[in-house]
Homo-oligomer: A and B are copies of this chain.
Amino acid sequence: MTKNDADRQLLRKSGYKATPSRLAILGIFKKARKPLSAQEVIDALPRSADQATVYRTLKSLNGKGVLKQIDLRHNHAHYELADLAEHHHLICLACGKIEIVHHCGMEETQARILRSSKHFAEIRQHALEFYGVCKSCALKEKKNN
């Protein structure tokens, strides 16, 4: 259980109890290495935890910065482990294909924005996603015209 201990600590440090469901959910995100929806997490859980538990867990881990919420334009939230190297996504609006985008260079921009903001005390996260059409979907679109 050496591996698990890191997650236990992470949870404790964030002010949560290290329960089996939470450890399992973290484990799923570690394996997946791509944005997962609540439903995908539920399906991936071996002895399915209740959906309410999954939703609650995702929301609170997102709040604590353990997970990061991603908007893939699918009408439901996706999440990813936040401590993976900082990256963003390029998402095909037609088929959903995802490509990783590194180096957004937003760290300084974010600091500048906060400094020049009238009302804000803190920036906790930012979303930067690019929506487009992948090459194979672009071909298909051409055919259909």
> At the interface, yes or no: A10 with Cβ under 8 Å from chain B?
no
A120 touches B134 (CB 8 A): yes
B127 touches A71 (CB 8 A): yes
B104 touches A133 (CB 8 A): no
Q: Tell me the minimal C-beta distance from A120 to chain B in angstroms.
A: 5
- Name A124's contact: one of B71, B119, B128, B132 (CB within 8 Å): B132
| Chain B residues positioned under 8 Å from A92 (CB to CB) | 119-120
| Contact of A120 with B73 at beta-carbon distance under 8 Å, contacts A127-B127, A131-B127 already known | no
- Name A117's contact: one of B63, B73, B99 (CB within 8 Å): B99
| Chain B residues positioned under 8 Å from A119 (CB to CB) | 92, 97, 99, 134-136
B124 touches A131 (CB 8 A): yes
| Chain B residues positioned under 8 Å from A118 (CB to CB) | 99
B120 touches A124 (CB 8 A): no
- Name A132's contact: one of B97, B123, B137 (CB within 8 Å): B123
10 A-B pairs with least C-beta separation: A121-B138, A123-B132, A71-B71, A121-B135, A126-B130, A122-B132, A122-B133, A128-B128, A119-B134, A127-B129
Q: Given A92-B119, A99-B118, 15 more contacts at CB 8 Å?
A: A69-B73, A75-B77, A90-B120, A104-B109, A114-B132, A120-B132, A121-B132, A121-B133, A121-B135, A121-B138, A122-B138, A124-B131, A124-B133, A125-B132, A126-B131
